[in-house]
Amino acid sequence: MPDAPPVTETVKDVETEKEIEIRYAPELDRISASIEAFADGKCSHVAVISDPFAGQAVLIDEIRKRYGDRIFYFSFESVVSRKDFIATIRRQREKDIIIIDRCHFLALRRIGGFDLLDEFLHLLTSSRKLFVTTWNSYTWSYLDSVRNISAYFPEVIHLPQMDVPMLKSIILGQYSGEIQFVDDTPRVEKRFISVTWKEAEILKRTVRYPYFGIHPEYLGRSAGTYDSVAAEDIIFRRIQKISEGNLGIALKIWENSFSYPHIRASSIPDAQCIIDLTVNEAFLLLIILSMDSIHTDDLREIAGPEMEIEKVLYRLHNLGLVEEKDGLYTVQPEALNCSAVYLKRMRMVW
């Protein structure tokens, strides 16, 4: 589908990064404070925790720009099977700040799956350098529950959700042409107060309860008064609600819903989804969710020879829960929150 005329690629990238940096300014300040304190003799290792697609790369890139001459940067791209990286880090004698990206690849949910994580934590506690690390939020929750990993990181930073104005600013900042917002949803949706059903765990039981939502954009409006401004608010509120403030998911929803010059509320998918998986399917979905992205070979090694991995991945793909590119599997952005809710209900994630 054709896009609105964008601003130049360079300007677009710069402006978008600036917007994200503004949103993450408190988190950037906390990391910078740890680095400045380290220069005064206080070592507070940093763990940056985020959901897949949440945009933590921009935050880490900004830290690298600010302290580039002091930083050694290392990123895990697949499941770690050897401890060569330990020697690589030890050789960085002239760098006093070590950024390790995607540390969730250090741990596996199997017997012996924490060996390399333990090697890394030993290095961290015995080193005279400051470590800034990034982790998948679902892996972090698991490791903190079973290993109390937060004890190793005095500064734990969870990336916050983006609100409606910030998502709107970042998304619209990519275009120079006028965009027309159309609220073409059924009139029955346009209520000041809406009721939906949610679930909660109470005394180890799942309880459904009504949730009353307030929609101020509809207050005082009658039929025929839903102008473009109101439609713009409605559309971005829906995108924020479905994405739960996750930047990558919001951008994906926008991309799939936008047809220049129109963005219609009816094209934005429903937030609800129904999942019913086998044990093996739920397990592989959990691993993919917890690793951000993972290669088929790594999935095969984790799953073991008993599982028909191709069959399981085929079904997950057909259900719209995962996507594959060049042998790497990721959770479908639009299905991330739905998948997480299901796995929480199954008590497979915290």
Who has greater pLDDT, 342 or 195?
Answer: 342
Determine the average pLDDT of the residues in 229-249.
90
Q: Which of 40, 42, 60, 41 is nearest to 50 (CA)?
A: 60
- Is 90 exceeded by the pLDDT of residue 31? yes
- Predicted local distance difference test score (pLDDT) of residue 307: 95
Determine the average pLDDT of the residues in 234-254.
93
Q: Which of 70, 67, 261 is nearest to 182 (CA)?
A: 261
CA distance 286 to 292: 10
User: Would you say 101 and 60 are in contact if contact means Cβ atoms under 8 Å apart?
Assistant: yes
- Predicted local distance difference test score (pLDDT) of residue 229: 58
Determine the average pLDDT of the residues in 200-225.
59
- Predicted local distance difference test score (pLDDT) of residue 202: 66
> Tokens 């599982």 — which residue?
307
Most confident range, picked from 6-10, 138-142, 191-195, 346-350: 138-142
- Is 60 exceeded by the pLDDT of residue 190? no
- Predicted local distance difference test score (pLDDT) of residue 23: 79
3-class DSSP state of 79: coil
Q: How far is CA 123 from CA 70, 97, 118, 140, 151, in A?
A: 19, 14, 9, 19, 15
User: Would you say 157 and 151 are in contact if contact means Cβ atoms under 8 Å apart?
Assistant: no
3-class DSSP state of 335: helix
pLDDT of 292-323, one tens digit each?
999 999 999 999 899 999 999 999 999 999 99
Residue 177's pLDDT band, with cuts at 50, 70 and 90, is confident
Q: Report CA torsion sign: 88, 114, 77, 12.
A: negative
CA atoms within 13 A on the CB side of 198: 9
- Is 60 exceeded by the pLDDT of residue 1? no
Taken as a whole, the chain contains a residue count of 350
CA distance 168 to 161: 13
In 78-221, beta strands by DSSP E: 97-101, 130-136, 155-158, 180-182, 193-202, 205-214
Domains and CATH numbers, the chain: 11-158 (3.40.50.300), 162-270 (no CATH), 279-346 (1.10.10.10)
Most confident range, picked from 1-15, 181-195, 249-263: 249-263
- Is 60 exceeded by the pLDDT of residue 253? yes
pTM for the whole structure: 0.83
Pairing verdict, β 258-259 and 97-101: unpaired
- Predicted local distance difference test score (pLDDT) of residue 252: 93
- Is 60 exceeded by the pLDDT of residue 189? no
- Predicted local distance difference test score (pLDDT) of residue 109: 84
Both tokens of 18, joined, read: 């600036």
- Predicted local distance difference test score (pLDDT) of residue 12: 44
Least confidently predicted of 3-12, 65-74, 77-86, 115-124 = 3-12
In DSSP terms, 330 is beta-bridged to 293, 323
Determine the average pLDDT of the residues in 274-281.
94
Backbone angles phi, psi at 10, to 5 degrees: -65, -50
Identify the DSSP state of 223.
T
CA distance 48 to 140: 10
- Predicted local distance difference test score (pLDDT) of residue 129: 97
Both tokens of 241, joined, read: 């609600």
- Is 60 exceeded by the pLDDT of residue 141? yes
- Cα Dmax for the chain: 69
Give the chain's mean pLDDT: 86
CA distance 117 to 138: 16
- Predicted local distance difference test score (pLDDT) of residue 110: 83
User: Would you say 316 and 322 are in contact if contact means Cβ atoms under 8 Å apart?
Assistant: yes
- Predicted local distance difference test score (pLDDT) of residue 191: 55
% of the chain surpassing 90 pLDDT: 68
- Predicted local distance difference test score (pLDDT) of residue 55: 85
